[in-house]
Homo-oligomer: A and B are copies of this chain.
Amino acid sequence: MSKPLIGHLIAGQPYCDNGQRQPLYNPATGAVCGEVLLAQPATVERAIDAAQSAYPAWRDTPPLKRARVMFALKALLEAHADELCELITDQHGKVLHDALGELQRGIENIEYAAGAPELLKGDYSRNVGANIDSWSDMQPLGVVAGITPFNFPAMVPLWMWPLAVVCGNCFILKPSERDPAVALRIAELAQQAGLPPGVLNVVNGGREVVEQLLDDHRIKAVSFVGSTPIAASIYARGSAAGKRVQALGGAKNHAVIMPDADLDNAVSALMGAAFGSCGERCMAISAAVAVGDATADALVARLRTAMAELRIGSGRDNSNDMGPLISAEHRDKVIGYLQTGVEQGAELVVDGRDAQLPAAGYFLGASLFDRVDASMSIYRDEIFGPVLCLLRVPDLAAAMQLIDDHQYGNGTAIFTRDGEAARYFCDNISVGMVGVNVPLPVPVAYHSFGGWKRSLFGDLSAYGPDGVRFYTQRKTVTQRWPSSGVRDGISYSFPS
């Protein structure tokens, strides 16, 4: 791939306008690896028009046939997995095995979408009154849009559009302008799998494109995943335009380690959850909460050892554990937090700047802060980097208070062997996705993904059953028939 130009996909065809071009960087080298076109307003119009045009026929295509595109697409993605993972790694930076995991989770959403005929069943009630029947039919909305973040360039788009289109909608995807290649390539494969032109369109661009999509009255719904400030603003602007919006934002996910936890398991889990994909995950564990100093001390000792063995380098090398951050700016911002944390009194047990790092690219090692408290900005903010903050609390109640007081409520985990502690935690914690000895409790594709508090705006979570509900509108029919008719011998003239 020699510095390609990433354009748009509209009505089943590649499309390039005269819009501004923005360079794309390979985070592992810092080199420009291509350009992306930022769509002009007319291009967005063109995409909406294409989607509108494709809608009537697609809406009337039986769900079974829509679902079969998903069967075909799954096979195609599996066949092209290597190519797709390389696209992810070269533009995002994550290690290939991590990219493959991302792709796999994306494909699971396609597998779920393949069950569309089952998922779209409505409720049927005979005799809601005498000889009156009523049923619900979950119909598509029309044209809907998705706006997705850089950190899962393949998976998050696959949370959205496969489900939207099997429900009968047409879709406009605006991927992150930092690593748009893989989403575009998957969209091309979807055409090959049999998706009719115009059912899925990809427009690249930045904020202007987002705002145009939010304001256009022909877009009936918008799904967004990104940071909380933008999520809040998208929720407000889309709602003000009268549309339905689900906007997923940021996180500060806590792992509580109880004194009875299997520590080896917990440390192994934390290493992946805190530093996998450089911590650039909305489900990353960025705060470890140790119950009791003994637990904390043991944890720090083990983490220090494990962190010393982390291999950091190009994502193209599958023996590495961590690749680069997404950009130089972001790396510098994370480094800034290291500095701030120390200034605010936390103990920087492991400093990621000391790690052995490649010379080029946006690399940074993993860091561990001990003795963090709730007032520090390294705790209050989402850093989105390989930085784990350890907080020490005397008991589970204190741990839960910390979590409940935080503005975010995306994911959390508890490490324990005790059934009662786990159940109490799960029941009472103000977080949408909870793991028991599972550090990244990302729901499987047939459940739904959604945080609480300022981690999600809207009433329906992403993908799974809630995704189906989000991408459909309820139509309820109530039917009775006049008592006199052909049964009573009313003579209809029938064509002979």
Contacts and interface: CB of A to CB of B under 8 A. Distances in A.
A225 to B, nearest CB: 16
Q: Count this chain's copies in the assembly.
A: 4
Interface string A232-258: 100110011010111000000000001
Interface in A378-413: 395-397
A205 B302 CA distance: 60
Contact of A457 (B130, B239, B298, B482): B239
Interface of A: 60-64, 67-68, 71, 74-75, 108, 111-112, 114-115, 117-137, 139, 221, 232, 235-236, 239-240, 242, 244-246, 258-263, 265, 298, 395-397, 416-424, 426-427, 431-438, 441-450, 452, 454, 457-461, 465-466, 469-470, 473-487, 489-496
A60 B335 CA distance: 44
Nearest to A298: B496
A490 B492 CA distance: 9
21 contacts: A61-B127, A112-B118, A118-B446, A122-B123, A124-B124, A235-B240, A259-B492, A262-B482, A416-B486, A417-B482, A417-B485, A418-B485, A418-B487, A419-B485, A420-B481, A436-B478, A437-B479, A437-B480, A448-B476, A452-B475, A484-B495
Contact of A479 (B435, B460, B478, B484): B435
A418 B420 contact: no
Nearest to A168: B127
B447 A136 contact: yes
A348 to B, nearest CB: 26
Contact of A124 (B74, B123, B493): B123
Given A242-B454, A421-B486, 5 more contacts: A133-B423, A265-B482, A418-B485, A459-B470, A460-B469
Contacts of A134: 443-444, 447
